[in-house]
Every structure is written in structure tokens, then in C-alpha cells.
Chain A
């Protein structure tokens, strides 16, 4: 057992864990934060996406012990106690989900993606690597979100929701 001090959604938690416990299992099974989903458990589907210091990661491939002291944000932290996050509302408005199993990961991933895009990070479809701020086209959204699978196939709605939210944020 190792003592792991996690900081999740702004709260500290000290857990005694075997070192093989993933961040995903620590969140779900030890802290009761079941909003983060376990899909493939091998880094292929993105359902377990959370933010670590604002960067999106696959929590299934993260050992909890490696993330001690990092600021972890899950869908519960993004939603808060009020009416939810505006990106969640955009997903609902645009039919960005059907069964909803991938949605927590999609939302966390999209928030991390928009931060990456805002910081000028290029993607595999960015035409000019050194240009400042590639426009967030639908192709860019699709490429940057490709680590999140949706087996219901709600991709068009997901892209619509992210585009709508990003445009509203840009106007603020």
C-alpha cells in the first residue's frame, strides 16, 4: 500500500492504495466520482478522460500514485453544483449524445482541447505548423477530438455542440 494524496475538483483526499490502482479506479471506486466512465480500460476510447492541471489525459492508463499533488478535474468538478457547464447545455441542445456513456469524457476532452487550441497547439490537420492560431474548423474539431469514441455515432452533434460553445466563448 502507498499513501496517495490526490487533489480532485478542489478538494484534498488521502487514500491508501496498492500502487497498481489506476486514477480511474481511484476516482470511481474510492472517491465515488462515478461520472468518469470506464470504457475500454486500455486508452483506446477516451471515456475516462479527465483533466490533470488542465490537460486532458486517459485516467485508465494513469496510476493514481503518479498523479499525487496534481489538480485533477472530473466531470463533477466541471458541472459544479448549479445548472451545469454551458458546454453540457450545448451537448443537450445539439443532440451531442444518445446513450451518454462517452459524454463525460467528451466534455472533459473538449475543454482540454479548447485550452490546447487557445494556446496555439497545432494538430495533424493544421496546414501551417508555425501559423498563429489555426481556425477551429470542423476538421480541426474532429481531428482534435479523435481520442473520444462515441459508439452511438453522435459525432455530428458533438462537433456542433463544441463549435457553438467555442463561438460563444470567443464572443464573451
Chain B
């Protein structure tokens, strides 16, 4: 690993100042992604600003009935928290579906939002990758792309976003709170991650000196009836081929509320707006679910290695909604 200097920030202001004054500096949270990327030589910060001592590890109820999650809350604590389990079960399930218990004990909510793709060409420094080295090409498009995206792709990049947690946050309309020396701002999940376009190395709406400080979950009666379904090559400890985060509210046989997002199939945590639009006000039937899934996947573009994901995603959406309708939430 390339040597770096290390600073442990005692408070948020010190952390923000340290990164604002040093373009080669990066924040370090749980380290489960950044340390790995540094060891692989993909990230090479001059200075590492350790933020794990900052007071950002609380989960609390907001006056409006929503929940505020500090950016340094560990994934395992988030999944186990009584408020999350009861009111946002899809989020508990999504977090528990990701990584391993050891990693969840280390990884933070803020770091999960910022984790980088697991595309093998991104990790292989001898391969072409526009995300790692802009302008160098994409090894995945004509290569091994079984794990890659079919939605939100560009001619420059088809890397899938790896997070499970973010898929649930997208379905729940979460808002990310970020802070820099210029102040605090709030970014909706829908605009936090950026599709690759011609600049796949730009992955989020964050400036390099901005720190994720919290995630806010709005109050939602729909969220209590929610679940996460993950389809993968082995039963545990694998990234998603397809995942679905769904929240569903049905009254008198009609869909009155829905939040839907997809993982494993897109370059960003994919909010399924087309499907939501098709579902709202529709009868809560298998046929409506299937039609909504088809609407969402209509713009998908598959390659020989990953086209199977399109039908897999349609089926996963339909099955997740069906299960919510018949069995309710896992809470």
C-alpha cells in the first residue's frame, strides 16, 4: 500500500477543514472498501482523515416521525435497530443481505453510500476501465459481463452499483445529509448517485471535500409493509445478480402507495419510477405487478453475458410484490 499520512479528526469541523485544505486527502470510515482499494492501488490518498471518532453514530427518531441515521452507524447496528426493523423492514433486510457479519460490524452507512463498483475490470489495473482511468476504454462491454448492469448504462461503462443498503434507501425516498466547510445540504437518494454517461469516474453528487453526515428516512406508512429480495449465485455472501426493494400499501384491492427500487441490474441504485407509476391506483394483482415490471425493464439493454438479468428482474419484482401482498412484511 502506498504510504500516506494519518490524521484522526476529533470533531466534524476539524475533519472538514483537513480535507478542504488538502486535495489528496480522503475520509476513512470503517475501511472495508477504501482500505481494500488502497491495497489494490486504485485509491492512493496522500492523507487519510479518520472520521470514526466523530459523534455521528446515533439513530434517532425525528419530530416528523421519520428516522435520522448517523453516517457512522455500523451496518450491523442499523439492521438490528428496533425502529428500522419495525418501520423500515426492507432496510434491515437489505443490510443483512449484504457482505458478511464481520464486514457489517465494520462498515458504516456513509461508506456504504460511497462504496465503489466490484467490476473486475475496475479492480484489475492492467485492464481498460473508464471509471478507474478515464478514456482507457471498457473491458467489460466486450468481455465478461455476467455481473454488469442493464439499466443506466452508457457506451463508456456498464459497472453495476454494488450496494444492497442503497437500494432500500432509494425505495424509501431517503435523503442524504452532507456537510463541508461551505455548510450543510441535503441530497435526495434519487440524485445522490450519478449514471456513468461519458464520465463514469464521477459516481456521486458529492464534491471531494464533502462528508456524508447522516441519512434521513421520511415517515412513511407504506414502508412498514416492505421487504427485500436478493437473487445471487450463492445463498449468502455474494453480490446481487438482481435485487428488489419494495414497499406496498393496498386498500380495497387497489395499490395506494408503492416504493420500488432495483439493485444488481443498474449503474446506480435504481429507483423504479416507471413501475411505481404503473402500479399506483392499479388493482393489486399479479397482472398489474407483471405489467409494472415490464414497464420498468422496457429500456433495459443486455449484452450476451447479462441479458438474462432482464427477465430475472421482471420475475423478482413480480414475486416480491406478490409476497408483500400475500404475506406482508417480515417485521
Instruction: Give A contacts to B, CB under 8 Å.
Output: 2, 18-20, 22, 41-43, 46, 49, 55-58, 61-63, 65-66, 109, 112-113, 116, 119-124, 126-130, 142-144, 146-148
Contact = CB atoms under 8 A, between A and B. Distances in A.
A122 B96 contact: yes
A120 B80 contact: yes
A109 B3 CA distance: 30
A19 B36 contact: no
Sorted nearest first, the 6 A-B pairs with minimum C-beta distance are A147-B100, A19-B6, A146-B236, A146-B237, A20-B1, A124-B96
Given A58-B100, A63-B6, A147-B102, 4 more contacts: A42-B36, A42-B40, A124-B96, A144-B101
Contacts of A56: 101-102, 105
Nearest to B29: A66
Contacts of A42: 36, 39-40
B85 A66 contact: no
Interface string B51-84: 0100000000000000000000000100110100
Contacts of B97: 124
B38 A129 contact: no
Given A66-B52, A109-B102, A147-B101, A20 B76 contact: no
Interface stretch (B86-94, B185-193, B309-317): B86-94
Given A143-B236, A147-B100, A128 B6 contact: no
25 contacts: A20-B2, A20-B38, A22-B35, A41-B39, A43-B103, A49-B102, A57-B105, A58-B100, A58-B106, A62-B106, A66-B28, A113-B101, A121-B76, A121-B80, A122-B96, A124-B97, A126-B330, A128-B330, A142-B235, A143-B236, A146-B100, A146-B101, A146-B235, A146-B237, A147-B99
B96 A123 contact: yes
Interface residues of B, number: 41
B331 interface: yes
A46 B8 CA distance: 27
Contacts of A148: 100
B5 interface: yes
- Most chain B beta carbons < 10 A, residue from A55, A61, A123: A61
Given A65-B50, A123-B96, A146-B237, A20 B105 contact: no
Contacts of A18: 3
B38 A122 contact: no
B105 A122 contact: no
Contacts of B86: 129-130
B199 interface: no
B301 interface: no
Contact of A66 (B3, B31, B96, B331): B31
A109 B330 contact: no
B31 A122 contact: no
A148 B103 CA distance: 11
B48 interface: yes
B308 interface: no
